[in-house]
């Protein structure tokens, strides 16, 4: 999996943060497909976004191993998620994948949600409100929270926040 790739296509760091067209071109280059095409950005980056200047070049990475979104991040600043248009699967392939993947988290299981990065780790305990296979989203009810937290199932009793 590609962790981080610096944007060489952007001319100046200050312009990179505010030039949404340049950011979009970098995402197209990173994903290897044009906007709207399979494997490329689902849609153009919304030109109404107002991003703060970035003192360094933004960094691109895949959101997850599924490569369903590109994360464009100004280190120490903003973060932008660009959805990627998935390649269509045959109906039979979807059923086969679903049949092979057993849930690692079941409704009612105690689950620890973990968010880790270089130098720190944050976790919280809760109860799963649905079954989930590895890599699938699952709602976790945490005591004191009004709504469930959406997390990604990792293994029995463990989930992570999307984008971590």
Q: Environment class of residue 33 by beta-carbon count within 10 Å: exposed (0-12), middle (13-18) or buried (19+)?
A: middle
Token pair of 138 as six digits: 């699952």
Cβ atoms of residues 116 and 164 within 8 Å: yes
> What is the structure's pLDDT at 92?
52
- Reported as a single tens digit per residue, the pLDDT across 63-80 is 887 888 899 988 888 888
Burial degree of 13 (CB within 10 A; 0-12, 13-18, 19+): middle
25 SS3 class: helix
| pLDDT score for 140 | 94
pLDDT of residue 108: 94
Predicted local confidence at residue 118, as pLDDT: 74
**Domains of the chain and any CATH numbers:** 5-83 (no CATH), 100-160 (2.30.30.760)
Average pLDDT by stretches of 10, the chain with 164 residues: 38 51 91 90 89 85 85 87 78 51 90 84 91 90 90 91 73
Q: What is the pLDDT of residue 135?
A: 85
C-beta separation of 152 from 65 below 8 A: no
3-state secondary structure (DSSP) of residue 97 = helix
Which pLDDT score is estimated for 9?
A: 36
pTM: 0.47
17 three-class SS:
helix
* Helices assigned H by DSSP within 84-148: 91-100
Would you state the structure tokens that stand for residue 28, as one six-digit string? 């197209």
**pLDDT at residue number 18:** 58
Please state, in angstroms and rounded to a whole number, the distance separating the CA atoms of residues 129 and 45. Answer: 34
Per-residue confidence (pLDDT) for residue 14, from 0 to 100: 40
């Amino acid at each position: 999996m590609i962790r981080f790739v610096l944007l060489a296509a952007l001319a100046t760091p200050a312009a990179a943060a505010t030039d949404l067209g340049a950011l979009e071109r970098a995402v197209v280059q990173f994903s290897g497909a044009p906007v709207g095409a399979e494997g490329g950005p689902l849609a153009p980056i919304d030109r109404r976004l107002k991003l703060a200047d970035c003192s360094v070049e933004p960094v691109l990475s895949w959101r997850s191993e599924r490569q369903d979104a590109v994360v464009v991040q100004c280190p120490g600043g903003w973060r932008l998620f660009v959805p990627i248009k998935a390649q269509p699967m045959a109906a039979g392939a979807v059923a086969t994948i679903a049949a092979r993947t057993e849930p690692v988290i079941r409704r009612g299981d105690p689950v620890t949600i973990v968010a880790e990065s270089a130098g720190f780790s944050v976790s919280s305990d809760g109860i799963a409100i649905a079954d989930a296979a590895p890599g699938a989203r699952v709602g976790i009810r945490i005591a004191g929270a009004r709504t469930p937290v959406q997390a990604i199932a990792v293994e029995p009793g463990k989930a992570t926040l999307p984008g971590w």
